[in-house]
Amino acid sequence: MSTLNILAVGDIYGADGLAFAKEHLRTVKSRFSADLVIVNAENASRGNGTSAADAKELLDAGADALTGGNHSLRHTGFFTVLEDCDNVLRPLNFPELAPGRGHCILYGPEGVRVLLLNAQGQVFMDYSIDNPVTATERVLDKLKGEYDVAVCDFHAEATSEKAVFANAFDGRLSAVWGTHTHVQTADERILPGGTGFLSDLGMTGVADSIIGGAKEGILAYYRTHVRTKIEDAKGECALHGALFTIDASAGRCTGVKRIQFGKESIQ
Rounded (10°) CA dihedral 6, 9, 15, 16: -110
Quick one: 252 exposed, middle or buried, by C-beta within 10 A (0-12, 13-18, 19+)? middle
71 part of the active site: yes
List the catalytic residue out of 71, 155, 180, 240.
71
Contact (Cβ atoms closer than 8 angstroms) between residue 139 and residue 105: no
The residue among 65, 1, 3, 10 whose CA lies nearest residue 253 is 3
Helix axes 52-60, 14-31, angle to 10 degrees: 20
User: What SS3 string covers 147-213?
Assistant: CCEEEEEEECCCHHHHHHHHHHCECCECEEEEECCCCCCCCCEECCCCCEEECCCCEEEECCCECCE
Give the DSSP letter of residue 229.
Answer: P
Give the gyration radius of the chain's Cα atoms. Answer: 17
Catalytic positions are: 71
